[in-house]
Amino acid sequence: MNDNQLLRYSRHILLQQIGYEGQEKLNQSHALIVGAGGLGSPVALYLAASGIGQLTICDFDNVDLTNLQRQIIHTKQSVGINKAVSAQQTIYEINPDVVVQTIQKKSNEAEFRILAKQVDVVIDCSDNFATRYALNRVCLQLKKPLVSGAAIGFEGQITVFDFRHENSPCYHCLFPDNGEDTDLRCATNGVFAPLVGMIGTSQAAEALKLIMNIGESLQGRLLLLDALAMEWRSIKLARDPKCAVCG
C-alpha cells in the first residue's frame, strides 16, 4: 500500500483484528457481486470503500426511476444506464483504486462458473431462485464461499454457505428446488427502502470477514429480520444428508 492508501484505510488498520495484514489481504482480493440493485448497492459501496482490490458486478438490467427509492448506488443521472455500469461509475467516484469489471448481460450457470473461479468470495444479491440455485451449485463445485441475502416487504434474511468446509449446508438444503416459480419481486410486491440497506450492509460485512478470515461467519446460521418490529432472529442450519445438491 502507498501512503495515500495507508491514510485512507487507517481506521481499518487500527483495528487489532484487521491491522496492516488484513487490509493488505483485502486489497489483493476479488469479489463477485451478482445483482446491482437494492442489496448489491450497499454491498458494492462498502466493499469498494473498504479497499477491496477488484470487483466483478453482474447485472443485465437498466436503472429505472422506481429503483432510486432504495438502490442507493444509482442516481437520477443513471436512469436508463445499465446497473453494473452505473455502479462502476459511482465506485470510481468513491475509490478509483478499485478495479471494477462489469457483466452487462444475463449470465448462465457456465458463465457464472468462469467468473467464480477468479474470485475469493461470491455475494448473491439477485432476486430470483434460478440465479440463487445456479450460484449455489457453482460455489459448491468450486469450494467458494457464498454470501446469500434476500429482502422483500419488511422482511429480510442473510446467511453464509462456506463450501471450503465440508459440513457447510447449501442453499438447496434451506430452500429445496421443487420446480415451482415462487419468486417474490420488489416490482410487484414492494420493499421497505432501508431493509435492503440493512441486509446488504450485513452481506458486505460477512464478505469482508471471510476475505480477511476474522471473526465468526454466518455459516450454519440464518438471520431473519422483521424491520417492522425491528427484531432479528437466528436459526441454526444443518447440512441435509438427503440434499439433491450437496448430500
Residue 48 buriedness (CB in 10 A; 0-12 / 13-18 / 19+): buried
How does pLDDT run across 13-34, given as a tens digit for each residue?
Answer: 999 999 999 999 999 999 999 9
Grid coordinates given for 10:
487507517
Q: What is the pLDDT of residue 181?
A: 55
Distance CA 35, CA 168 (A): 24
Question: Is 41 a residue whose pLDDT tops 90?
Answer: yes
Question: Are 218 and 206 within 8 A, CB to CB?
Answer: yes
Cβ contacts of 181 within 8 Å, gap of 6 or more: 129
On the 0-12 / 13-18 / 19+ scale of CB atoms within 10 A, 151 is: buried
CA-closest candidate to residue 26, choices 54, 52, 46, 49 = 52
CA distances from 242 to 2, 81, 138, 239 (A): 51, 44, 19, 9
User: Over the stretch 167-185, which tens digit does the pLDDT of each residue have?
Assistant: 999 999 999 887 665 565 6
Instruction: Tell me what pLDDT residue 115 has.
Output: 97
**Whole-structure pTM value:** 0.95
pLDDT band at 187 (very low <50, low <70, confident <90, very high): low
Residue 2 clears pLDDT 80, i.e. is over it:
yes
Q: Give percent of the chain with pLDDT exceeding 90.
A: 91
Interval 99-151: pLDDT, tens: 999 999 999 999 999 999 999 999 999 999 999 999 999 999 999 999 999 99
Q: Pairing mode, if any, of strands 30-34 and 121-124? A: parallel
Residue 4 in grid coordinates:
495515500
- Nearby residues of 192 by Cβ (< 8 Å), 6 or more positions away: 153, 154, 227
Domain boundaries 29-236, CATH class? alpha beta
Q: Mean pLDDT over all residues of the chain? A: 94
Q: What is the pLDDT of residues 188-221, one digit of tens each?
A: 678 999 999 999 999 999 999 999 999 999 999 9
The mean per-residue pLDDT over the stretch 66-73 comes to: 97
Which residue ranges make up each domain of the chain? 29-236
Q: Is the pLDDT of residue 79 over 70?
A: yes
pLDDT higher than threshold 60 for residue 186: no
What pLDDT was estimated at residue 1?
86
